[in-house]
Amino acid sequence: MEANNKRTVSVHIVTYNSAEHIEDCLEAVRRQTHSIDHIIVIDNASKDDTLQTLAKWQVLCTIVRNERNNGFAGGHNQAIRMTETDYCLILNPDVVLEPDYVRNTILAMQNNTQAGSATGKLLFKAAPNHIDSTGLIINKARRAFDRGAHQTSDHFQHTEEVFGVSGAAAMYSREMINDISIDGEFFDEDFFAYKEDVDVAWRAQLLGWKAIYEPAAIAYHERGWKEGGRSSKPLFVRRLSYINRYKMMVKNDRISMVLKHIIPLLVYECLSFAYALLREPKLLGAWSSFFRKYSELMKKRCIIQSKQKIVSSEINRWFVK
């Protein structure tokens, strides 16, 4: 089966100080074998030469210059609202796609009527014989990881269903975007950045959508802060990564599932709190954001529960050890 070239596709890229990578990213988008109807670049108030570099591409792209940094979530929601295409490829500026990436991810989704998202095999740009991500996994302590990270690229050779897809190069169907968005937000802007793709994956699963991994779609990811070690990253970034896990749990988790996994959850929470208290006490300041947003998170939880299409036991298969 060939991917239906009549199905429209837009590519959405959010930049922030991305001058080093954005041209390679856009050149790879330009070379896609499946026609691209719209390329939107949202710049989140870059301080480097990103805007000067993007000026060379303004014939090919729609470029939006934000006066302030709206985050990954806010930036991509802007782009989503600007398009009406059948599919949206959410793409990091430090990712380079092989020419068939769009075609193969769309084909994988067309072969599964319940699929709302797809990803290919993301490899490290600096070490392309090793995997960056083949989708998302989540464990019983509600920690999310890139599936297959650092394994050799000869692994994961078959198309299969996964918990979710990494936001680095995620193909989403418009139908799913419209179905699972809450108050016009596909990515939850309370997250700003980090774990928003996991939150989308969990919400999509609850609402009956599937995510597909397609190994024939290849991309190369420079990979950002996770490879540099926690201590080298700004406190703002570390706080987001820490607290967004709890925001995600409030919105999507169920008491029955928490009780089912209570031991690994308690073990991790004790270790996490002890680490934060002893090694990074400033992380705990992130709880002010959590409590400030708590009522909004609970409203979103109620909306998700009212739309939930599968029982909790069906989700249980995704929580690995």
Q: Quick check: 231 pLDDT over 80?
A: no
pLDDT at position 321 is 86
Residue 142 domain-assigned?
yes
Total of domains in the chain: 1
Per-residue pLDDT reduced to its tens digit, 236-246: 989 999 999 99
Q: Quick check: 225 pLDDT over 50?
A: no
Per-residue pLDDT reduced to its tens digit, 33-70: 999 999 999 999 999 999 999 999 999 999 999 999 99
Percent of the chain having pLDDT more than 90?
91
Q: How confident is the model at residue 2 (pLDDT cuts 50, 70, 90)?
A: low
Q: Quick check: 4 pLDDT over 70?
A: no
Residue 111 domain-assigned?
yes
Per-residue pLDDT reduced to its tens digit, 170-208: 999 999 999 999 999 999 999 999 999 999 999 999 999
Per-residue pLDDT reduced to its tens digit, 270-309: 999 999 999 999 999 999 999 999 999 999 999 999 999 9
Domain of 130, CATH number, reads 3.90.550.40
Residue 7 domain-assigned?
no
Residue 172 domain-assigned?
yes
Q: Quick check: 227 pLDDT over 60?
A: no
Q: What's the average model confidence in pLDDT over 3-11? A: 83
Residue 256 domain-assigned?
no
What are the DSSP E strand ranges found in 189-318? 210-221
For the chain, give the mean pLDDT: 94
Residue 308 domain-assigned?
no
Q: What distance in Å separates the CA atoms of residue 158 and residue 190, rounded to the nearest whole number?
A: 35
Q: Quick check: 104 pLDDT over 80?
A: yes
Q: What distance in Å separates the CA atoms of residue 57 and residue 23, rounded to the nearest whole number?
A: 8
CA–CA distances in Å: residue 155 to residues 118, 226, 318: 18, 22, 20
Residue 208 domain-assigned?
yes
**SS3 at position 133:** strand
Q: Other CB atoms closer than 10 Å to residue 20's CB: what's the count?
A: 14
CA–CA distances in Å: residue 295 to residues 88, 279, 292: 30, 30, 8
Domain encompassing residue 193: 94-227
Q: Which residues contact 36 (CB under 8 A, 6 or more apart)?
A: 9, 10, 11, 29, 30, 102
Residue 140 domain-assigned?
yes
Q: How confident is the model at residue 224 (pLDDT cuts 50, 70, 90)?
A: low
pLDDT at position 233 is 77
